[in-house]
Amino acid sequence: MVANEAHTQNADRRFIKHAMTAPLLDREHEQELAARWRDDGDEDALHELTTAYMRLVISMAARFRNYGLPMSDLVQEGNVGLMMAAARFEPEREVRFSTYAAWWIRSCIQDFILRNWSIVRTGTTAAQKSLFFNLRRLRALLGDSGDAHMSPENRAFVAKTLSVHEQDVDRMASRLSAADRSLNAPIGETGDAEWQDLLPDESEQPEEEAMAERDRKRRHVWLHEALEDLTDRELTIIRERRLVEDGVTLETLGRKLGVSKERVRQIEHQALRKLRCSLTRIVGDPEDSGLIPSI
């Protein structure tokens, strides 16, 4: 394992040394290479163009090395951004390739960090990404301690600077101050206890599940029996207004039944009173039983 790591480190050093010694390109030659790759698919031109700016990838990756991810992985992701920039670069716009490629390189590296810094997704919106990559810098600027708790003044300053909510600043500060912890990690140095052993089981017990299922079946039978006391029109209104997740509107039912929406409302209230009376007759006073289904 040690030998493999040493071999990898040596390979990384050779790669960086080669990249840093690659000749720089002047504007005219750079534009020529970009045009040859875009128009003719000249792979030699692409290789020369990307090799000349490999040092930009390494420089950009070095800025993010404090996030705990291997430098070689950051460089590889930066290379992906460099290739994407080469595929989209338009030389006729008279912009230097390094200026254009910098955005793509940084974007790919940042996306890689967000995907791999933690097993929990850290930032999904542009504001959250900005907060993730700038919070440490701003806290250092303020002389903040860097722990999970920020003073109200510092929190307000960061929120205003990055145009985010203060509660988002609090959440990100807490997230950045704590590393991931495996649930299988031992609690102490001795013994077999793990952190997952301390997680409470909040699900229902088998006896509670059995009782709940029995109650559901009883309520279903009672409701079905009570619905038999309704007229066809009352039953239609109750089914489409109360017994489905997204009930239809009074106006829609009124058009379907050929009456006004106010008449539908009256029939619905009448049907609900009838159902309550029927359930009271079947089960008893609703105030004395928690098993009466709500309509």
Integer Cα distance of 220 and 87 in angstroms: 63
Evaluate if residue 2 carries a pLDDT over 60: no
Q: Which residues pair with 194 in a beta bridge?
A: 186
Return the higher-pLDDT residue of 6 and 235: 235
Reduced to 3 states (helix: H, G, I; strand: E, B; else coil), residue 271 is helix
The per-residue pLDDT for 122 is 61
* pTM score of the predicted model: 0.51
Task: Provide the 10 A C-beta neighbour count for residue 78.
Answer: 27
The per-residue pLDDT for 106 is 92
pLDDT level of residue 1 (50, 70, 90 thresholds): very low
Instruction: Please give the CATH number for the structural domain made up of 206-288.
Output: 1.10.10.10
pLDDT in tens, 151-193: 888 888 888 888 888 888 877 777 776 666 667 777 777 767 7
Which residues have C-beta within 8 Å of that of residue 182, sequence separation ≥ 6?
195
Evaluate if residue 123 carries a pLDDT over 70: no
DSSP 169-226: HHHHHHHHHS----TTSBSSSSSS-BGGGGS---SPPHHHHHHHHHHHHHHHHHHHHH
pLDDT in tens, 182-226: 677 777 777 677 777 777 777 778 888 888 889 889 888 988 998
Average pLDDT of the chain to the nearest whole number: 82
Evaluate if residue 121 carries a pLDDT over 80: no
Which helix (H) or strand (E) covers residue 56, if one does?
helix 54-62
The per-residue pLDDT for 8 is 62
Mean pLDDT along residues 13-32: 81
pLDDT in tens, 62-93: 988 888 788 889 999 999 999 999 989 988 88
Question: What top-level class would CATH report for the domain 7-117?
Answer: mainly alpha
- 211 half-sphere exposure, CB direction, 13 A CA radius: 6
Which residues have C-beta within 8 Å of that of residue 61, sequence separation ≥ 6?
71, 74, 75, 77, 78, 109
